[in-house]
A and B are shown apart, each in its own frame.
Chain A
Amino acid sequence: MIDDIFNFLDPYWWLIIGVVKAGIIAVALLSAVPLLVWLERRLMGRFQVRLGPNRVGPFGLGQPIVDVIKLLFKENIVQSSADKFLFYLAPAIVVFTAIVTFSAIPFGEPFEVGGQRVGLWGANLNIGILFIFAISSMGIYGMVIAGFSSNNKYSLMGGLRASAQMISYELTLGLSALSVIIMSGSLNLYDIVKDQSGSILSMNLISQPLAFILFFIAGVAETNRAPFDLPEAEQELVAGFFTEYSGMKFAMFFLGEYLNMITMSALVTILFLGGWHSYVGLDIPILVFAFKVFILLCVFIWLRSTFPRIRYDRLMAFGWKILLPLSLMNMMAYGVYKVLFAA
């Protein structure tokens, strides 16, 4: 019986490998989030000359576990004026899109196991980067729907702010990534990383510094992190689009934000920092990749504790009047360079 099943599935090993990989990536990603929250609280503590959580476990490492258990057992409150179905749908959309986005990110060279080629990615898509933009733009729906279904004007304002901000910064994000795509000639993230192999000078950060800065700023705005955390500005909007959420549903928005942070750092690593190429001899692809992502996550936290939140009209003006023209010019320049010199 078992043999029959194995014979039947023999040419479909890729399916089984894919399912196992999907499971591993999703679990690893989800368990990285509590650690990231711990890291953020500890680092923020240090930045503000205080200790941060240090009571539960060594270095306060038990804190994220305790927090997760607390959130899981909290009472589930849905106010009577809310649209029940949409109210439940919104956090699910946010987390779903955040996890699916990461599936297209490669983090190492493929290797062979038992005659099967296993790539270190969820899926190596020919349109990898476009796929990531597409799915992450679907994540906006979660926020708009959350804001709308809560039937609360602060939530609605938060949702509208989130969507307006993310749509405007998505343009800059896409256009600055486009210069990388033009130079490497491929939409495939694996090819983009392979294009940067060799010496440290072949890193896109060196050849396209402006695109890197634009992409990173737009990435911070896309993930709704400070100083662009207008959608959840607590002084004006209580907590923005998730004001009415409590317990695990609130935690899912939290989860979505941190997952997006990890995905954005991974994307910056792939596009500009040479992915899993270490350039200094140490050649363990996953560790190198994780180290680069870790550094970028620390920069995210550093930004949060350094900059004050900017005003909403300035945010919009900054996005449309400074970042967008700059990224367009950047794309034009690299396009002209590619046609004239590198073709």
Chain B
Amino acid sequence: MCLNPALAPELEKRIPMMEFLDQLWSLNLNRETVFGLFEEGLVFAIGMTAILASLGVILCATPIYSALYLIGNMICLAILFLLYNAEFLAVVQVVVYAGAVMILFLFIIALLGAKKEERELSFQNLACLGFVGLLFCELLMSMMVGKTKPVEGQVTREMVQQVGSAKAIGIELFSHHIIPFELASLLLLVAAVGIICLAKFSHKPLRKRTRV
């Protein structure tokens, strides 16, 4: 094949690359594999974006950017829910966390005037980063285990398709978990009452009104 014997070693070097291409073409490139790969790639990409966004939350020096990263992280989680057919959870995630809670965060940051924090590299910071890196590596190692065993509960894929994810959650929540659900709502009520007590009924006014 090779006309010039001087070029032979160079060709040999290229062989692994060609093998890879051969493998790529010999892969059965029908639409199922293409779209399957696309879907898995999507899940992976969104998961990685979520991790990067959460790293941004803790590593960013400006509070407002941290808050924006947190919003990004929540949206990524919502999209992940969406990819696993949990539409209702995805939307609730966006409405409650990204839509309401984070707005209040931004509110407070904007009112307090966010200044850029001084960043110093201390031993603690390095230790923290090392710890986070270690955890991340362990997570990556868990990928070696392969697919986890799916848990079959009362809410199956067929049931969700039949009644819709909102109804499925409603049935589950109001038949099996009604007492924890009500207790959680009581807890939130206590928090709301506490805030009103703190804000409204202070005995000593902090500053007197100058206008009469």
Contact = CB atoms under 8 A, between A and B. Distances in A.
Partners in one complex: yes
Given A141-B103, A148-B64, A130 B165 contact: no
B103 A144 contact: yes
B107 A160 contact: yes
Contact of B87 (A127, A133, A163, A167): A127
Contacts of B165: 126-127
B31 A8 contact: yes
Contact of B94 (A11, A86, A134, A159): A134
A138 interface: yes
B91 A141 contact: no
Contacts of B99: 133-134, 137-138, 140, 170
B103 A167 contact: yes
A147 B110 CA distance: 9
A138 B31 contact: no
A187 B103 contact: no
Prevailing SS type, chain B contact patch: helix
Interface string A74-92: 0000000001001000000
Interface residues of A, number: 30
Contacts of B100: 137, 167
B106 A127 contact: no
A283 to B, nearest CB: 30
B106 A130 contact: no
Contacts of B109: 148
B64 A187 contact: no
Interface string A145-189: 101100000001001100110010010000000000000000100
27 contacts: A8-B31, A9-B31, A11-B31, A12-B31, A126-B164, A127-B88, A130-B92, A130-B166, A131-B91, A134-B99, A135-B94, A137-B100, A138-B94, A138-B99, A141-B103, A144-B103, A144-B106, A144-B110, A147-B110, A148-B64, A148-B106, A148-B110, A160-B110, A163-B103, A163-B106, A167-B100, A167-B103
Interface of A: 8-9, 11-12, 83, 86, 125-127, 130-131, 133-135, 137-138, 140-141, 144-145, 147-148, 156, 159-160, 163-164, 167, 170, 187
Given A130-B95, A140-B103, A160-B111, 13 more contacts: A11-B31, A86-B64, A86-B68, A131-B91, A133-B99, A137-B99, A141-B103, A141-B106, A144-B107, A148-B110, A156-B110, A167-B100, A187-B164
